[in-house]
């Protein structure tokens, strides 16, 4: 049987949401899908928590003064089966494209439990995967809950085997290896517009763009995969909302290192022009056959590994708050002692031997 190596055009959106407004951000998402599709893109990636926005306030102000922002985020959080994602699914189907969308996910089980999630939608509008960030990073723990590994997987599509990780997960070697071990050919990485860790006047502030370049290049090189990096942009809607409550916090946003959107080949080299200081879409042609030759040198999920030495187990079991067993009505007059006894296989085998 011959092996297929799909080729296609990818699009990484370097874009700003309409801050804490899911409906208008979905409108913008659909516009960007239409634009990218008109340029021939078959896979369109959007940034981390694009809908309704990355909770940058958690880095800038004390938790005791951020309740209004959190309530707004919880109010605008989406459900994967809700109408907002439904509109994106319809857009993907209308244009026949794959869409990767970062969003803050809510749950019917709680009005305040949120996840940092990403949904991959196929060209027929089907949800192919839902991934929740395994561990929120640093101050993100004030906003999002831990995810589980249900979505830590690679999806077989008509344009190749696609996996994705959110922001700091791309620093986690075990999460990355889990995707490599499923034959990942195209990796999607998503990031916020900036990620403040210190006041800008202090030395040692986190350089988000450089961190993205290092992580994206490392994964592309180690996985021998294409890496599509989509980062958000800080626009007027974000700055107006932050500046309205804290001018000093706005200064931190303005002076913090920016993120970058880019696409890298299996050697870790950028293809297409990266974007950082303005909104736009990064395009690049992807030829998955280019992953074959580098696998001769280092195939870390093949012959460049020692599976007798290393062993990785990934638990994909679902983590729900409770499991509910519905009661089964017994027929009238039935007694507990009339129920058949439960015995082990060994007990049954021993009984047969005695007979």
Q: How far apart are CA 124 and CA 89, in angstroms?
A: 8
User: Which residue among the candidates 48, 105, 169, 213 is catalytic per the annotation?
Assistant: 48
Q: How far apart are CA 98 and CA 104, in angstroms?
A: 20
User: Which residue among the candidates 9, 84, 167, 169 is catalytic per the annotation?
Assistant: 167
Q: Which helix (H) or strand (E) holds 212?
A: helix 208-223
User: What residue has token string 């042609």?
Assistant: 285
Angle CA(168)–CA(263)–CA(7) in degrees, nearest 5? 125
> Has 194 been annotated as catalytic?
no
Q: Which residues contact 132 (CB under 8 A, 6 or more apart)?
A: 105, 115, 116, 117, 147, 148, 150, 151
- Axis crossing angle, helix 247-255 with helix 236-245, rounded to the nearest 10: 140
Angle CA(170)–CA(172)–CA(173) in degrees, nearest 5? 105
In angstroms, the Cα distances linking 309 to 73, 226, 306, 312, 331 are 45, 28, 5, 10, 56
Q: How far apart are CA 39 and CA 282, in angstroms?
A: 11
> Has 48 been annotated as catalytic?
yes
Q: Where are the beta strands (DSSP E) in the chain?
A: 7-14, 41-45, 98-107, 110-121, 127-132, 155-157, 160-166, 186-191, 226-231, 262-264, 280-287
> Has 167 been annotated as catalytic?
yes
Q: Please, which residues bridge with residue 15 across strands?
A: 232
User: Which residue among the candidates 28, 133, 140, 224 is catalytic per the annotation?
Assistant: 133
Encoding tokens for residue 237?
């809607």
Q: How far apart are CA 119 and CA 102, in angstroms?
A: 7
In angstroms, the Cα distances linking 74 to 21, 85, 133, 166, 168 are 11, 16, 17, 20, 22
Residues marked active site are found at 48, 133, 167
């Amino acid at each position: 049987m011959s092996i297929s190596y799909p080729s296609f055009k990818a699009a990484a959106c370097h874009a700003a949401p309409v801050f804490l407004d899911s409906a208008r951000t979905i409108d913008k998402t659909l516009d960007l899908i239409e634009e990218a599709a008109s340029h021939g893109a078959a896979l369109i990636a959007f940034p981390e928590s694009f809908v309704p926005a990355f909770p940058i306030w958690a880095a800038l102000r004390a938790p005791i003064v951020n309740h209004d922002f959190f309530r707004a985020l919880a109010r605008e959080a989406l459900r994967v089966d809700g109408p907002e994602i439904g509109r994106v699914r319809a857009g993907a189907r209308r244009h026949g494209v794959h869409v990767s969308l970062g969003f803050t996910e809510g749950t019917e089980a709680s009005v305040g439990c949120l996840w940092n999630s990403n949904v991959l939608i196929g060209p027929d509008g089907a949800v192919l995967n839902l991934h929740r960030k395994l561990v929120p990073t640093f101050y993100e723990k004030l906003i999002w809950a831990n995810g589980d590994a249900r979505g830590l997987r690679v999806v077989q599509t008509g344009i190749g085997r696609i996996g994705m990780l959110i922001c700091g997960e791309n620093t986690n070697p075990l999460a990355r290896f889990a995707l490599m071990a499923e034959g990942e050919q195209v990796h999607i990485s998503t990031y916020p517009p900036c990620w403040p860790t210190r006041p800008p006047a202090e030395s040692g502030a986190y350089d988000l763009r450089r961190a993205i370049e290092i992580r994206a290049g490392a994964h592309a090189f180690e996985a021998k995969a294409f890496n599509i990096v989509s980062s958000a942009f800080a626009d007027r809607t974000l700055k107006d909302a932050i500046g309205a409550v804290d001018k000093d916090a706005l200064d931190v946003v303005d002076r913090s290192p920016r993120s970058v959107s880019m696409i890298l080949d299996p050697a870790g080299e950028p293809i297409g022009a990266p974007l950082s200081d303005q909104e736009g879409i990064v395009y690049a042609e992807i030829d998955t056959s280019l992953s074959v030759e580098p696998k001769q040198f280092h195939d870390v999920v093949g012959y460049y590994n020692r599976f007798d030495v290393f062993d990785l187990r990934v638990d994909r079991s679902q983590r729900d708050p409770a499991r509910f067993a519905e009661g089964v009505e017994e027929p009238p007059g039935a007694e507990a002692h009339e129920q058949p006894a439960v015995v082990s296989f060994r007990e049954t085998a021993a009984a047969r031997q005695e007979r």
